[in-house]
Chains A and B, each alone.
Chain A
Amino acid sequence: MITITINGKEIKLEKPVTVLEAAKSAGIKIPTLCSHEQLEKYGGCRLCLVEVEKIPRLQTACTLMVADGMVIKTETEQIADVRRGILEFLLINHPLDCPYCDKAGECELQDLVVKYGPATSRFKEKKRKVPGGLEDPILVRNMERCIVCTRCVRMCEGVQGASAIAVINRGGHSHIEPFSGGRFDCEYCGNCVSVCPVGSIMSRLHRHSYRPWQLMSETETICPYCGVGCTLVVQVRDDIIKRVVPRIGTPVNNGLLCSRGRFGYEFVGSKERLTTPLIKKNGMLEQATWEEAISLVAKRLGEIKDNFGSSAMGGIASPRCTNEDNYVFQKFMRVVLETNNIDSTARTGFAGAQGFIENIFGQGATANIIPGLSNSDAVFIIGGDPTAINPILGLQIRACSRGGGNILTIGHIKGLEKFNPVVLKPEFYSETVLLEGIVSALKNKKGLPGSNQKLEAKVKGINTAVEEIGEKCGITEEDFTKFIEILSESSTPSIVIGKEIAQSSGGSYKLLLISAINYLMNARIYLLSERANEQGLLDMGCAPDLLPGYRTLTFAEFRKRYETAWKVSLPEKTGLSIFEMIDAAKNGSLKAVYIMGENPVFNLPNSKAVEEALKNIDFIVVQDIFLTETGKLADVVLPALSWSEKDGTFTNMERRIQRLRKAVNREGMEDWMIIAEISKNMGAKFNYSEAEDVFKEIARVSPLYRDMTYEEIEKGDAIYPYKGEPLRGVTEEIQVHNPPEPPLSKGGLRGIAAGKLYLRLERPLFHSGTLSRKAPALVNIYPEAVARISLATAKSLSLKAGDIVKVSTKIGSLELPVEIDKKVDSSAIMLSNNFEDKGAFSLMEYTIDPVIKAPCLDGNEAKIEKVK
């Protein structure tokens, strides 16, 4: 126990902390400018100087550690004098353009000058001028205001890990610049903006549009973009979102955000939002009233059900909608339309991968706390770049590396390249062999533990020699051995799995091998999730084989539970997956489909074929916030309220249930309410007056979310397994599908040298499905689709950056500008699937893995030729 005295108050401390922290814990405020709780200690601004008895000179409270018996004074005349002096020095150059500065009102310098004076500086020379600062579309720099506290630099380097900005020049001329001196060209997390104490780096999105004290409300809610589920605060004035900021102390992201969360909010106020229902008349979508639209939907769905039966109907749910929306959606499909044909784009990877892993390890195998990653001593990453797909989770991996943990990656991962990764880069399409090799090596080193017989039976026979890895994967024995050594010596390893695993050939077999690695290493699994409520949607039973609570439909006992709760009898047969629905549409057996908050015509591979198939369907309802590619095919389009306009809950990838709150008012209905209205029109009683009513029902009927309440969720207690019953012991046989990987070599040559290129999907940090298209800030950062090729490809085809090329596959072609990326495999062309009419999925065919039902996108051969 350490006892110190600050301003006469005795303070007892368990462990040594800084004087600043000790004072804070006792409610004593010491002024600071350069210190920040999220950053490393610095001691640069000298504002926190305090008097310490027996130490002759003033000391910086932010760096001085307490020692037993210290007697400290924080406000004396001497200290006030010094602080006044420091501030006067800062004001030599600081412009005091507060009337014009967006920071005024929440500026730390302004507040300190108010408290410690001086009103003006004695310095008569001209203040410095720093030209420029408006070159970037997102971040404005106003470097006359910079007080060189280096908080932004320490944030960018020490927390974000981007190292995109630095102090340049020296003395009175020093200020902050990104490398280019103009545009930031960085990760655009905006975390530098959060920590700047003055108005030197600010968001351009709300520039000069309001003063901080004019905000009408601040609402804490959850990010609409990815499965990390960051808490963010939406600041609103006149029902327009002015700014989105993080909050320190929130469980998942603790004061940090990524570009999408911070700058991607403008879609809410977009002028392109749907405002009224639309009904197709003579091939044209025309505005209609809600009454017309709802009664038409009810009538047509009723007719189709009567004429063709329930199995002719399908529903596609949304990983962007709330648990409440998705629960009501599946209940409508099961109770009113009487079909289990319910699925979502979670089927493109997440659902199957999670189901597969849970079948081996039990429910909750992927429910691991994200910040825990930084405490691992090794993180094994495969199947995608976590720093782009789930950026805040990516930061935890970077923090792990900074703290001395090992980063082990299969394939090159761009966002981690500066974090000393140990990389095994197998030749294109030889991942399976490498994984078999890792399993074999770990088995030899560690031996099978014997606790999971089913899994062991599957992997016992695997025995891949190092030579085979060298031959097939092009990995040296030395590299392989080093990798295995680090992995096997780790005692708290984590495994991060991206969607590319589920979307590659032998997806289920690769998952088996990764599960085996997990088993042999006793690791924790993190399954990357591209959508905010992918997990929740599955928990709500929006899958052809699942009931709410992630309960297998085919178990009579589970079915009975819901039959009692909903007072109906439920269809027994497993429904169609999203891909099976597309097939059924193609062959004419699917007559009606209800699509909520999803754009399958763009977001499913072979999108042109999906479009053709959907055109075959008699009646399509699309419920969305924008008129998407899919909406254009619909017979009825229903406008829904969007994120930040409604209440509800999301369940993130660590299975934490979190509250989504309404921040802006807009006329309209939530997704669940629209569906409840339609149900009413079809003779079913769905009596909910607000989202919480729906949640209460979920908490009553779902064994997983049992007895959960909004109140508890708000307290932050909704961590898996809640108070529910995780499903245990209901495992099925482990099945895998292991087709040969696509052949690659041609006379020993690979990639462009063999004249063969393959299409691969790029998953950019700045985009997310088709939603980010409507967020101008994200579009400004990453404005158009590009074809990313390797240096080798560029050389052999004499292409340079910016050239327009035609990329074609068997099923189509796209014209795109070229970007050359040293790290792209020489066998690959990378294309994103985010931009209108330029989606990679229009060129990609797929085969379905029969076990995880995910589309395998491997082996799409592409040609590329110069257009101009």
Chain B
Amino acid sequence: MFSEAAIKELEEIRQKYPSARAALLPAIYIAQKEFGWLSQDAYEAVANALGVPKAIARGVGTFYAMYKHKPLGRNIVQLCTNVSCMILGAERLVDFLKNKYGLEPGGTTPDGRFSLVIMECIGACGTAPAMLVNDDFYENLTEEYIEEILGKYK
């Protein structure tokens, strides 16, 4: 069930679109904010709130990689392993995350602190390797630097 604040936000968003379906993307975002990730219940809540069939809501949401479809850790590490980052050692960094934090690609640390998502080029090839932690951007990564960065996220 949505909080009252979320319901209000949904109503406002709905007004901005000509049809309920058009409002699905921002509505799914609200649900993600509200519930942390997009469970079946979250989709059902979105569908009911907008009056859109729930199968359709889920179909739309699953198209986009940036919605979360499983519970993730408190902090999301998005590490690039595409060509430039790979050449400059991103794969070693993946191993480092695995050994040091028990963090596997697509996985979450047992304490729920971090989740790791492997990215395909985040547009920082000139300063590779690069990653995002939540909405913060980091470049020229080394093992020590990563340790320092992650120390800031609890």
Contact = CB atoms under 8 A, between A and B. Distances in A.
Interface string A582-597: 0000000000000000
Most buried by B among A163, A166, A178: A166
Contacts of B56: 157, 163, 166
Contacts of A179: 40, 43-44, 54-55, 58
A169 B63 contact: yes
B63 A164 contact: no
Contacts of A178: 55
Interface string B37-70: 0001001100000010111101110111000000
Contacts of A174: 63
Contacts of A180: 40
A169 B40 CA distance: 15
Nearest to B43: A179
Chain A to chain B: the 6 pairs with minimum beta-carbon distance, closest first: A166-B59, A163-B53, A179-B55, A168-B62, A166-B55, A170-B63
A241 B43 CA distance: 40
Contacts of B51: 418
Given A167-B63, A418-B53, 11 more contacts: A164-B53, A164-B55, A165-B55, A166-B53, A166-B59, A168-B62, A169-B63, A177-B58, A179-B40, A179-B54, A179-B58
Interface string A153-181: 00001000001111111100010011111
B53 A167 contact: no
8 contacts: A168-B58, A170-B63, A170-B64, A177-B55, A177-B58, A178-B55, A179-B43, A418-B51
A163 B62 contact: no
Contacts of B60: 166
Q: Is the interface of A mostly helix, strand, loop or mixed?
A: loop
B63 A163 contact: no
A5 B9 CA distance: 57
A166 B61 CA distance: 11
Contacts of B64: 170
Contacts of B63: 167-170, 174
Contacts of A177: 55, 58-59
Contacts of B58: 166, 168, 177, 179
Nearest to A165: B55
A168 B59 contact: yes
A157 B53 contact: yes
Contact of B55 (A163, A170, A418): A163
A164 B60 CA distance: 13
Contacts of A164: 53, 55
Q: Name the interface size band of chain A.
A: 10 to 19
B40 A167 contact: no
A169 B62 contact: yes
Contacts of B53: 157, 163-164, 166, 418
B50 to A, nearest CB: 12
Contacts of B55: 163-166, 177-179
Contacts of A169: 62-63
A181 to B, nearest CB: 8
Nearest to A167: B59
Interface of B: 40, 43-44, 51, 53-56, 58-60, 62-64
A26 to B, nearest CB: 38
Contacts of A157: 53, 56
Contacts of A163: 53, 55-56
Nearest to B59: A166
B19 to A, nearest CB: 12
A174 B64 CA distance: 12
A760 B145 CA distance: 70
Nearest to A186: B55
B21 to A, nearest CB: 11
Most buried by B among A157, A167, A179, A181: A179
B44 to A, nearest CB: 8
A212 B13 CA distance: 51
B72 to A, nearest CB: 18
Contacts of B54: 179
Contacts of B43: 179
Nearest to A161: B53
Nearest to A176: B59
A695 to B, nearest CB: 46
A157 B58 CA distance: 15
A565 B60 CA distance: 68
A157 B53 CA distance: 9
Nearest to B60: A166
Interface string A139-165: 000000000000000000100000111
A393 B63 CA distance: 35
B131 to A, nearest CB: 24
A829 to B, nearest CB: 25
Most buried by A among B51, B55, B59: B55
Nearest to B63: A170
Nearest to B61: A168
A164 B57 CA distance: 11
B32 to A, nearest CB: 17
Nearest to A163: B53
A167 B56 CA distance: 8
Interface string A169-201: 110001001111100000000000000000000
B142 to A, nearest CB: 34
A169 B62 CA distance: 5
A177 B44 CA distance: 15
B25 to A, nearest CB: 14
B6 to A, nearest CB: 20
A168 B56 CA distance: 9
Contacts of A181: 40
A177 B59 CA distance: 8
Contacts of A168: 58-59, 62-63
A418 B63 CA distance: 24
A230 B53 CA distance: 28
Contacts of B62: 168-170
A308 B119 CA distance: 92
Nearest to A184: B55
Most buried by A among B44, B51, B62: B62
A168 B60 CA distance: 7
A177 B62 CA distance: 11
Contacts of A165: 55
Contacts of B44: 179
Most buried by A among B40, B59, B63: B59
A861 B5 CA distance: 42
A217 to B, nearest CB: 37
A163 B57 CA distance: 10
Contacts of A166: 53, 55-56, 58-60
A212 B90 CA distance: 54
A171 to B, nearest CB: 9
B67 to A, nearest CB: 11
B109 to A, nearest CB: 26
B149 to A, nearest CB: 31
A169 B65 CA distance: 9
A177 B69 CA distance: 15
Nearest to A418: B53
B55 to A, nearest CB: 4
A168 B64 CA distance: 10
A285 to B, nearest CB: 49
A509 B59 CA distance: 49
Nearest to B51: A418
B40 to A, nearest CB: 7
B64 to A, nearest CB: 8
Interface in A723-742: none
Contacts of A418: 51, 53
Nearest to B47: A179
B70 to A, nearest CB: 13
A174 B60 CA distance: 11
A246 B37 CA distance: 42
A27 B63 CA distance: 40
A330 to B, nearest CB: 48
A165 B57 CA distance: 10
Nearest to A174: B63
